[in-house]
Structure 1
Amino acid sequence: MPEQSSSEIPFHSAALSSQKALLEQVKNLPGQPGVYRFLGADGIVLYVGKAISLKKRVGSYFQKNDHSPRIRLMLAQVIGLETTVVRSEGEALVLENNLIKALSPRYNILFRDDKSYPYVVITGHASPRLAYYRGALDKRHQYFGPFPNSYVVKESIQLLQKVFRLRTCEDSVFANRSRPCLLHQIKRCSAPCVDLITADDYRSDVNNAVRFLNGKASEVLGELETRMQTASEAWLFEEAAAIRDQINALSRIQDKQFVSSNSSEVDADIVVCVIGSGMICVNLAMVRGGRHVGDKNLFPSHADGYDAPAALEAFLAQHYLDRNVPPVIFCHPEPENANVLAELLGQQAEHKVVLNSHPNGERRVWLDMAIKNAELAILQRSSQTATQHARLGSLIEALGWPDAVARIECFDISHTMGEATVASCVVYDRFDMQPKEYRRYNIEGITPGDDYAAMRQALIRRYGKIAAGEGVVPDVILIDGGKGQLSMATEAMAEVGMSSPILLGVAKGETRKAGLEQLILNDRPAPVVLKRDHPALHLIQQIRDEAHRFAITGHRARRAKTRVTSSLEDVEGIGPKRRQKLLASFGGLQGVKAASLDELKQVDGINSALAEKIYAVLHA
């Protein structure tokens, strides 16, 4: 850890005395590297910054008059300052970004990209497994990636299954198989679990998969063609045909690549920052083993007043300081403090890292493509934002709400005949859905199927905390239901002591068709019915449908978990020994569930009556 020392400027109630105290303390700041934090009312951190010289950097805020509107607005709220002295500019950069991630200051640009990226993993078992993986890396296994999204990883696994037929089953299933599974029958697995492939041949397939993931597809294709020719000359036509199918599948995978590189083992990221229509977009593209594996666009929060080099520096620091770093990062434009960033990332990665802002040849094509993708993303987002502005404005006008209405929260209930009831809450704010703010509530202690009680419990649980100061009060609460649900919601909000949110019920029309919804408000004697093509109705449908999707997804997951945990233990007459025999015979619970009655009867100790009981419980 770096050696650090801290100083703190105390708060002052009067703005003038606070300003004088700040100026006095700035005079006494050291000319050393460090991190400073501007504080607002109640000690809230407004901004975190780094400096080569704390005295010069912090002093510049109070000596210049040409600050951007963002900085002027921030300075008007500053009543305190904290500083931390470190040993180098690199340490200041690390500490700055750790504090930004931890505190989320209002005036710092924030890239909310804190999820771990997915990998393809080939395990280190005797019969290695091909799998999707997120999380900390284990040296016993081989990891390929990271990839920009889970879709790319899952698609890669499906393609690799077709070509190399590696197992994807869990170890517990693999160890208990007594016959091949469905994947073997559809030619997606060579069934090493029951020795339908020799250990050497399986290891050869694993090695070919590793080489392909490392960008050596041409070598793999060459060897497969040689093997096919050898098998054909030896009149082993079935083996030759199988290898031919592998070659064809591998060739199709190569054709699917978005970009191919002449350098087969290139690992690099392409990061560009583009500003347009008042928005900042960072496009991150990944090249692994010479193959372009996809990209993603990121729109930071609190980005007003940042130029592209400063925003790009913030992204590189926030994104890579806790992640694997490729040897080369192609970037546009050149980020601020590029040399310091490259040195710091190299120290973290334990290998040299190059930030290249002026590539040539195919690398320049990668960079130009990323710039174009960022520009298109800004155009799309700008169009979507304009649409959402229009929809929200139309809703405010149609229902006579105040212009300040911006945040809408919507609730929905999902269950199956009262089983595994789940309530969802989705959030619409800043003219878009905010998935990171969604919440689900597992409903307990009510009469099964009582939607009123379920909604009441969800509202009290959420807004009881918000009333106590633990969240943001919405402007509107949208309830999926009619007058009864709305009346119940009104009582629940009164119980928690909140009266400010507008409550809006959305009841389906007589035929329950989209476009015939009735909007019910407490201050209106009759429901409001909007035209089918009304922008306000489209916004309400968008939010309600998202709440429904989020609720039913949570309900299905909870229901599946409940049914799996009950499973064989709930079957009368099935003790530990018979349960173990069933699981061993079919390779796990999923295999037992997939078995027919006749297959269940073939297990030692399972008669017709028991087989029927097992089948009934697992298919209830």
Structure 2
Amino acid sequence: MTDPAAPFDAKAFLKTVPEEPGVYRMIGAEERVLYVGKAKNLKRRVSSYFLRTQPSPRIALMVAQIQRVDVTATRSEAEALILENNLIKSLAPRYNILFRDDKSYPYIELSGDGFPRLAYHRGAFAKGARYFGPFPNAYAVRESIHLLQKTFQLRTCENSVFQNRSRPCLLHQIKRCTAPCVGLIDRDDYAADVKLAARFLDGRASEVIDDLSARMHAASERLAFEEAAAIRDQVRVLQAVLQRQYVDSRRDEDVDIIAAVEEGGLTCVNIAMVRGGRHLGDRPQFPSAAAGCGALDGALAFVEQHYRDHGMPARLLLDVPLEPVKALMAEISDKPCALVTPRSAAEKAWMEMAENNARLAILARARDTGRSEARLEALREVLDLPEAPRRVECFDISHTMGEATVASCVVCVDGAMKNSEYRRYNIAGITGGDDFAAMRQVLERRYGKVAAGEGLCPDLILIDGGKGQVSSALEVLTEVGLESIAMVGVAKGVERKPGLETLIFPDGRAPLNLASDHPALHLIQEIRDEAHRFAITGHRARRAKARIGSRLEDIPGVGATRRRNLLATFGGLDGVRAATVEDLCRVDGVSRKLAEAIYNALH
């Protein structure tokens, strides 16, 4: 271990750092991890902290505290990324700035089917499909899909619907789909429309308009006037949309605008997106740690995290010094990207709009924070707690006549719901419908681990239920040695209407009814409703899964292979139910006799 009294010898250390991908950890006093980072070249990246003047006072302060640097070489940059994420989650370094919502951007998906489907997409990418984005918000995606439907008439229906149509749907009647499901367009013509849509989404709108114009003139010359008129309408739609959304830009360009603003101790990084010259809107991001980290630090942290997972635009417009960003971009991407500050009138307008929206987001965040503090303080007074509860966990049970029981645990921290910490528990080994036993089981599983030192201990536990559930909960907490945690039950009134809830205390205090406009009751209702939503969603999924397996498995002649073929062909049990006997006969291995048996069993 390094002598804490001795200064860190950066020059000697850098001679030992390999030029390989890996992860580095800055260690300070008392073995406290200050920062965790990833690099595709460890020597070059770590050297940057010591061999030049730091543009950020915050980073300079961190470097002054370094007593040791640990490096771990990995076989690839991908492995380094995984290791870095794991270390940041487990060590929570003080100087790491995280934007937790940065990976949830929506995309437009063109599926890899014979007749590709146009769809809204979030999450992991599927093999064979094409993805366009990211988009700043869901509205921008849906607006773009609506435009593509009007212009290129691509299908948006699920495969289970597409494979079982016998006549065109309403979208075809209103000229939003060419109805490939019933053969009203052949594969080659549909593929041509898909190609145009993909070029448009790639930002090549002018090429698409030129191509359509050439097709329109060709149709006119061969006297196909109806076809020419349809193509003319497509061109007009595209030109009208582009004219409305160009915002003084006359070029097909892809630009990201990043505005970093620090006000009132809060830092907001706002990203706006221009694709094909169309301004698609913006999205504000706040660091989940290190509040007031500074505009430059916030911008650097956002650039590093965002462009690891999302495509690089042709240009990146910034309102912070460019040199630190250039050095960072060289580390995280080999794709060329022009980094510029606003110059033209359009660029200045884009940046001004992004900065203004960042300031508005900061004002809204500050207002919400004040509202959350007031609600937490009201809750403290109502429950007679020594301090406002910073972490609240709420439990609910959901089942249908005892079937597929699921318990939920949702978490509220500082008045805001923390979706990443939600948990569901499948309940087993109890009598169906025994909510008391279900509550006991979920609390044993949750707080047995907390008592063993795994996980965080809440300041307040909310139980969706009455005296019975609260008594069961108190027994469990007493058994695991956590009976000192404040707890309250939330019992619905006789009419089960919001505002009539009764608070049940485990210590024998009289039940309490709060006024319907009380801020503490509003917070309790919000957390309880979220627990109920999360529980019932999990219950329905578990119930549907159980029924899919049991209903098909119970049919004589339907083994694992046929069951898999049926579900794959019709996209799930609902699609199998909607299929006719003739449809079922088309599945490999299903005779007419078996198809009739399946149909009768599911109806």
Q: Provide the residue aligned with 2:21 in structure 1.
A: none
2:513 to 519, 522, 529: 529
Q: Provide the residue aligned with 1:198 in structure 2.
A: 186
Deviation of 1:387 after TM superposition, in Å, equals 0.7
1:487 aligns with 2:471: yes
1:559 aligns with 2:559: no
Q: Percent identity?
A: 51
2:500 to 508, 516, 528: 516
CA contact (8 A) 1:31 1:54 kept: no
Deviation of 1:506 after TM superposition, in Å, equals 0.7
Q: Provide the residue aligned with 2:430 in structure 1.
A: 446
1:268 aligns with 2:255: yes
Deviation of 1:422 after TM superposition, in Å, equals 1.7
Matches within 5 A, 1:359-398: 359-398=343-382
Q: 3-state DSSP class of the match of 1:337?
A: helix
Deviation of 1:481 after TM superposition, in Å, equals 0.8
Mean Cα displacement is larger for which, 178-187 or 393-402? 178-187
Matches within 5 A, 1:497-516: 497-516=481-500
Residues 421, 295 of structure 1: alpha-carbon distance in 2 compared, 3 angstrom cutoff = farther
2:27 to 34, 38, 54: 38
Q: Provide the residue aligned with 2:96 in structure 1.
A: 108
Q: Which runs of no fewer than 5 residues in structure 2 stay unpaired? A: 18-23, 38-44
Residues 591, 425 of structure 1: alpha-carbon distance in 2 compared, 3 angstrom cutoff = closer
Residues 289, 282 of structure 1: alpha-carbon distance in 2 compared, 3 angstrom cutoff = same
TM-score normalized with structure 2 length: 0.80
CA distance in 1, matches of 2:407, 2:49: 50
Mean Cα displacement is larger for which, 362-371 or 548-557? 548-557
- Deviation per residue, 1:31-72 (Å, 9 max, x gap): 74975522566x5524458764777899x9xxxxxx98x979
Q: Provide the residue aligned with 1:294 in structure 2.
A: 281
1:543 to 527, 531, 539: 527
1:285 aligns with 2:267: no
- Deviation per residue, 1:300-333 (Å, 9 max, x gap): 1332452211221222223324543223211122
CA contact (8 A) 1:111 1:300 kept: yes
Deviation of 1:285 after TM superposition, in Å, equals 1.9
- Give 1:38's aligned amino acid: I
1:307 aligns with 2:307: no
Q: Which runs of no fewer than 5 residues in structure 1 stay unpaired? A: 1-7, 10-20, 61-66
Q: 3-state DSSP class of the match of 2:592?
A: coil
- Give 1:564's aligned amino acid: I
Q: Provide the residue aligned with 1:473 in structure 2.
A: 457
TM-score normalized with structure 1 length: 0.78
CA contact (8 A) 2:154 2:176 kept: yes
Residues 316, 335 of structure 1: alpha-carbon distance in 2 compared, 3 angstrom cutoff = farther
- Give 2:27's aligned amino acid: F
Matches within 5 A, 1:67-466: 81-84=68-71, 100=88, 103-113=91-101, 115=103, 117-123=105-111, 127-133=115-121, 142-149=130-137, 152-154=140-142, 156-168=144-156, 179=166, 182=169, 188-192=176-180, 195-221=183-209, 224=212, 243=231, 246=234, 250=238, 254=242, 257=245, 259=247, 261-264=249-252, 266-304=253-291, 306-334=293-321, 337-345=324-332, 348=333, 350-466=334-450
- Deviation per residue, 1:314-371 (Å, 9 max, x gap): 22223324543223211122267233123334xx2x3322222333221221111111
CA distance in 2, matches of 1:325, 1:367: 18
Residues 244, 579 of structure 1: alpha-carbon distance in 2 compared, 3 angstrom cutoff = farther
Q: Provide the residue aligned with 2:41 in structure 1.
A: none
CA contact (8 A) 2:8 2:68 kept: no
Q: 3-state DSSP class of the match of 2:260?
A: strand
CA contact (8 A) 1:32 1:85 kept: no
- Deviation per residue, 1:244-273 (Å, 9 max, x gap): 765676567658858574211x12211111
